Structure 1
Amino acid sequence: MAQTAGIRQRAETMLRVAAMFASSGLWRPGPPLKVARQLDALRRWGTTLGGSLVSAAARDPGRAAIVDEYGTLTYAQVDARTDRLAAALGDGGARPRVAVLCRNHRGMVESLVACSKLGSDVVLLNTGMSAEQSLKVLDEQQVEVLIADSEFAEVLKGAPAAVRTLTADGPGSAVAELIDRTVLKAPLTPPPHSGRTIVLSSGTTGQPKGAGRHSRPGLGPLASVLSRIPLRVHETMLIEAPMFHTWGYAALQIALGLRATMVLRRRFDPAAGLRTAAETRATALIAVPIMAQRMLEWRSSTQEELDLSALRIVALSGSALPGGFATRFMDAFGDVLYNLYGSTEASWVTIATPRDLRRHPDTAGRPPRGTRLAILDEEGRPVPPGTVGRIFAANELLFTGYTSGATKETVDGMISLGDLGRIDEDGLLFVQGRSDDMIVSGGENVFPGEVEDALSELEQVREVAVVGVPDEEFGQRLAAHVVLHPGAELTADQVRDHARRRVGRFAVPRDVYFPSELPRNATGKVLRRQLRAEADRAS
C-alpha cells in the first residue's frame, strides 16, 4: 500500500511539474542540438545552482544573464567565468567552506554559482549585520574563504589569518582577477557531492542562526511557484531583494531555471529602481515590502513619467504588507502584486495573487501546489476555520536543520513557523503576527498587526509599529511608534482617539511616539526588540 501511494504521489508530482512548465514556456520546442545539450547538462549536474546555470547556458548561450552597473554578461560568459572561478577556488582539489558577504551584482552571482559547481558549502552573510556579528559567524561556521565587497573592510581585515579573503565587487576585485588569470587545465566536471547552502535567520532577536538549505531542490519547487505566479521563460527580472536572504536567493534560483535576464542593483533607491525597471523593460520585480512601499510613495510624489507597461509581476516577501498597502499599490501600478508568506526555514508557504489581494488586502494567500498548511492549537490539534492558532507547514523546501544542531517544532511532518494565524472558509491564510509578539494586556490578547492596520488608515501616517512594554498594573501596555509623512502633523491624542474607534478598548496604545523612521534590518523587517527597549527606557 505504501509503495502504491508513493508511486501515485510521484506521478502526481510529475504531472504537476509538466503542467506548470508547459504554461511557463519552459517546454517550448527549440533547436534539437541545444535542447539535447540542455537535458544532458541537467542529467549530469542536477538542479543545483551551478547545474541550472550550465543547463541555461547550453540552451540559451547568447542570452543576457546578468545586467548590472558593470554591463551585461551572457549565459555563456557566466558559465565560462564561473568554471574558471570554481577551478581557482578549488585549486589542489580543495572544496573550502565559503562565506559570501556581497550586495546584488555579478560578483555575488558568480561566487555562488562557482561554489555550487565546486561542491563547496556556502554561508550567506547578511549585509546588515555588524562586523562583530559577521566575524562571529565566520568562526561558528568554520569558514575557510570569505568573499566580500570591499565596503566591508572591517570584516575583511578582522577575519582570522587562516581565512582566505577575496573582494568581489568590480572588474578590479580579487574575484574578477582570479577569473581573468585562471586557465582551465581540463573541463570542469560535476562534484561528487552537492555543497550545502546556509542562510542566516534575519537576526531581529539577537545573533542570527544558520539554516541549512537543500542545494539540489529538484524541479518541484519551481513548479510550486509557477502554480501561483505566472512567471515565464525569458523574463527580465529586476531583483531588488538582497540575494543573501531567502527570497532574494530564491529569485536567483527561479531566474536561472527560467533562463531569465537578471537586472541587479547594488543598493536600493525607489526612483532609481523604477527608472531601471522602465529602461530595461523589466517584466518582473522581486522585492521586499518596504521597497515596494517606498516605490509607491516616490511615484505618488513625482511628475516624472515612466513606461512600466512591461511590468507584469511584482512579487514581494520578507515581512507583512502594511495595512491597505496592497490596494493602494495596485491602484497605482495595476493588478500585478503577488505576496509570498514563508520563512527562512520553510521558504514560501502561501502566495496571494492580485485577485486574492483585491478581495482581502491583508491575506497571505493560499498554499502553492506541493505545500501542506495547518493551523494547530497548543496540543498540536487542528482548529476550526476562522480560529487563530499556530501556523505549521511542510513542502519540498523545508530546511535541513540549524547548523547548531537545533531544529523547529514538528507535527505530522510540518514545522512551526513561529507565527499565529487563521484560515478562512475559502482557504485563505491570515497571519496575525509572531507568537512572541502577541501582547497580553489586562488579560486580553492583542495582535499588533490589527492595531497597526487601524492606525495606517490615518492619512498622516507613513508607517507604524506597535509593541508591548512591561506594565505594573496590566502586565503589558501598548506602545505605538508612528512615522508621519513629511510635513504631516498628528498628536498622540488623535492617534488614541482613532484607535478607540477602530479596535477594542484594551488595544488602544497608551504610549505614542513619533520617530523619524522605524529601525529595520537589511531585509526590511522592523526591529521590534529595539522598539520595545526604547519604549521601556522612555517610560
Structure 2
Amino acid sequence: MTSPPQTTPLALHHAASVFGSAPAVSDGAVRLSWAELLDSVRETARVLIARGVRRGDKIGIWAPNTHHWVTAVLATHYVGAVIVPLNTRYVADEAADVLGRVEAKALFIVGSFLGRDRLAELRADAPELAIETVIVIPAEREEAVDNAIAWSELPKLAEAVSLEDAIARAESVRAEDLSDILFTSGTTGRSKGVLISHSKALTSARAWADCATLNSDDRYLVVPPFFHSFGYKAGILACLVTGANILPQATFDVPETMRLIHDERISVLTGPPTIFQTILEHPARATADLSSLRVAVTGAATVPVVLIERMRDELRFDVVLTAYGQTESGGFGLMCRPEDSAETIANTCGRAIDGFEVNLADNGELLLRSSQIMVGYLDDTQATTDTIDKDGWLHTGDVAVIDERGYVKITDRLKDMYISGGFNVYPAEVEQAMARLDGVAETAVIGVPDERMGEVGKVYVVRRPGAELTTEDVLAHAKKMLANFKVPRFVEFRDQLPYSAAGKVLKRQLREETE
C-alpha cells in the first residue's frame, strides 16, 4: 500500500487529482474546487518565489478565517516556507514581537476589518520592523496600500515565475521541513514558538479526521480561528487529507452560523464548548433548521456533562466527540471514538489517537509521547528540555486520571489548582457540579486568598436567559454536590465570561481582577 503524502504540497496535488471538481473551499460568493484551489495556491506561490522567498523563510499571516487564508497557508508551504499565524486579537506590539522573532520575510495581512487597520497599526507602532513583502487580504473592501501588494495584483505578479518552477519548488519540500510555527497563548509568560514539521502535522490530521469520521461528503463550517490548531490543523489540514469542503466563518455570530448550517447544509461543526452553548441558548434556535449536522467535536479543560447531553439530545448530532491536544503536541493527542458510549464521551476526552502514548507523572500530570509532538520551541533550548523530558514525554501541565481502557479525564490545569485548608481543589470538578444547576449557562471557578484557609473558591456564573438564580441557590446546590472544602465561598454573576480567541475562559484575567 502506498503511503500517503508527507508534505502539504504533495497532499494538495493528491487532493486535486482525486477530488478534482468537488468543492474545496466555499466562502460566500467564492467557490473553489480542489483543482481550482491548487491553481490559486500555485499562483500565490509564484508571487512568493518572484519576491525572493526561499525554502525555510518565515511568512506571517494576520487575518480572520476566509478563503484567502487557506490559499495563503498552502502557498507558503508550496514554496517550502514556514507559516507563522498571528492571533487576530493581538495588538500591534504583540504582532511585531512575533514577526521580529521569526525574522519574517513576508506577511499576509487583512485590510480594514471590524474597525481596525492592522497594517497601519503595525507600521505606526513598529516602524523598525522591515518585512520585504506585504500582501493585503481584502476584507470589507479592496484597498490600495503604499508599499504593499493588493490581493488582486497577484495574478499579474505571478507571471514573473513559470508554473514549472513553482511545481519544482513544491516537489523539493521534504517531510521533515518545518511547516509552521504556532505561538502559545503566553498565559505563563512570554509566548513561545512551537516548531512542527510537514509529516508531523499531516499524520496527526489524518488520525484526527479518522476518529471524527470526516470524509469527502462532509461540509465543514470552520468557526475556530485558523491561527489556532483547532481551525488550521483540525480544520484546513483535516479537510485537505479527506477532501471535505472547507467553509470558513470570519467571526462567530450565532444567527449567521445557524443560517450557514441551513443554507450550506453543514455536516461538521467544531469548536470550544461556548460555541455549542450559545447556539443552544439562542432564542432563534427553535425555528432554525439544523438537521444537516452530523459531527461535533469539542474540547477544553472543562466540558460540562450536561452540554454533551444537550448536543446529542437537542442539536441531534449523530457523532459528538470530545478531544484534547496542545500546541506542543501538534494540536492533537486524545480523542473519543464514535462507537464510545454516551457516558465515556461525556466524562472523558478519549484515548490516544494513532501514534500517541499517554502516561501520568507522580503528581498526576498528563504526559504525551509521539513522533508527532513538536520539534521544540523556537530559540529556547531550555524551555524545550523543561517540557520534553529525556524519555521523550511531553509534560502537558494538565492534571488527569486514566482508566483501565486508556481513556483520559482532564481534571484541571496544575496552575489552576488551589489549596484550601490543606486540601487540593480542582476548579474543573467544581465547574462540572455547578453546570448541573438548572439556570446555569456557564461557570468559572478560581481560588482567591483567604487568611484562615489560604485560598477559597470563587465561582463566576452566567445565567441562562430568563433564569433568576441567586447566590443562595448556587451555594445550596454546591453544598449538595461537593465536599465542604470544595464549596465556593464567593459567587459573582456575570453577563459573560472573558474568553480567549481559542474559546477558553481567561482565568488569569479573573484572578487579576481580584487582586
TM-score, normalised relative to structure 1: 0.84
Cα separation, partners in 2 of 1:112 and 1:227, compared to 1, 3 Å = closer
* Structure 2 counterpart of 1:330: 312
* Structure 2 counterpart of 1:362: 347
2:99 to 116, 138, 147: 138
2:213 to 230, 241, 244: 230
Which range moved further: 409-418 or 71-80? 409-418
2:383 corresponds to 1:402:
no
CA distance in 2, matches of 1:71, 1:111: 15
**Corresponding letter in the other structure for 1:390:** E
2:194 corresponds to 1:211:
yes
How many aligned residue pairs are there?
483
CA distance in 1, matches of 2:252, 2:405: 37
CA distance in 1, matches of 2:275, 2:358: 28
1:234-266 Cα offsets, whole Å, 9 max, x none, are 422111111111111112111011122111111
2:179 to 196, 216, 223: 196
Whether contact under 8 Å (2:435, 2:442) holds in the other structure is yes
**Corresponding letter in the other structure for 1:502:** M
Cα separation, partners in 2 of 1:222 and 1:144, compared to 1, 3 Å = closer
2:122 corresponds to 1:153:
no
2:43 corresponds to 1:84:
yes
Aligned partner of residue 438 in structure 2, secondary structure: coil
Aligned partner of residue 50 in structure 2, secondary structure: coil
CA distance in 2, matches of 1:117, 1:175: 20
* Structure 2 counterpart of 1:517: 496
CA distance in 2, matches of 1:355, 1:460: 31
2:482 corresponds to 1:503:
yes
Whether contact under 8 Å (2:8, 2:202) holds in the other structure is no
Unaligned 5+ runs, structure 1: 1-13, 19-38, 379-388
Q: How far off its partner does 1:371 sit?
A: 1.4
Whether contact under 8 Å (1:289, 1:316) holds in the other structure is yes
**Corresponding letter in the other structure for 2:493:** F
Whether contact under 8 Å (1:66, 1:74) holds in the other structure is yes
Cα separation, partners in 2 of 1:78 and 1:460, compared to 1, 3 Å = same
2:351 corresponds to 1:374:
no
RMSD across aligned positions (CA): 2.3
2:138 corresponds to 1:169:
yes
CA distance in 1, matches of 2:397, 2:28: 39
Aligned partner of residue 345 in structure 1, secondary structure: helix
Whether contact under 8 Å (1:166, 1:175) holds in the other structure is yes
Whether contact under 8 Å (1:322, 1:456) holds in the other structure is yes
2:297 to 315, 320, 326: 315
1:467 to 440, 446, 449: 446
1:396-421 Cα offsets, whole Å, 9 max, x none, are 42011111322114263221111001
CA distance in 2, matches of 1:357, 1:519: 33
CA distance in 1, matches of 2:91, 2:23: 35
Aligned partner of residue 233 in structure 1, secondary structure: coil
1:156-189 Cα offsets, whole Å, 9 max, x none, are 4345451133211358364522322122434212
1:321-358 Cα offsets, whole Å, 9 max, x none, are 13421011111123321111111111222112455461
* Structure 2 counterpart of 1:72: 31
* Structure 2 counterpart of 1:434: 413
1:15-61 Cα offsets, whole Å, 9 max, x none, are xxx9xxxxxxxxxxxxxxxxxxxx9xx7xxx4322322222112233
* Structure 1 counterpart of 2:394: 415
* Structure 1 counterpart of 2:430: 451
CA distance in 2, matches of 1:514, 1:307: 31
CA distance in 2, matches of 1:325, 1:84: 44
Aligned partner of residue 86 in structure 1, secondary structure: helix
* Structure 2 counterpart of 1:48: 7
* Structure 1 counterpart of 2:146: none
Whether contact under 8 Å (2:461, 2:491) holds in the other structure is yes
2:223 corresponds to 1:240:
yes
CA distance in 2, matches of 1:126, 1:293: 23
* Structure 1 counterpart of 2:271: 287
Whether contact under 8 Å (1:86, 1:114) holds in the other structure is yes
Percentage of identical aligned residues: 29
TM-score, normalised relative to structure 2: 0.88
**Corresponding letter in the other structure for 1:52:** A
* Structure 1 counterpart of 2:61: 100
**Corresponding letter in the other structure for 2:391:** D
Whether contact under 8 Å (1:99, 1:146) holds in the other structure is yes
CA distance in 1, matches of 2:226, 2:211: 22
Unaligned 5+ runs, structure 2: 144-148
Cα separation, partners in 2 of 1:144 and 1:94, compared to 1, 3 Å = closer
Cα separation, partners in 2 of 1:481 and 1:280, compared to 1, 3 Å = same
* Structure 2 counterpart of 1:488: 467
Aligned partner of residue 270 in structure 2, secondary structure: strand
Cα separation, partners in 2 of 1:316 and 1:481, compared to 1, 3 Å = same
**Corresponding letter in the other structure for 1:59:** V
Cα separation, partners in 2 of 1:431 and 1:318, compared to 1, 3 Å = closer
Aligned partner of residue 445 in structure 1, secondary structure: strand
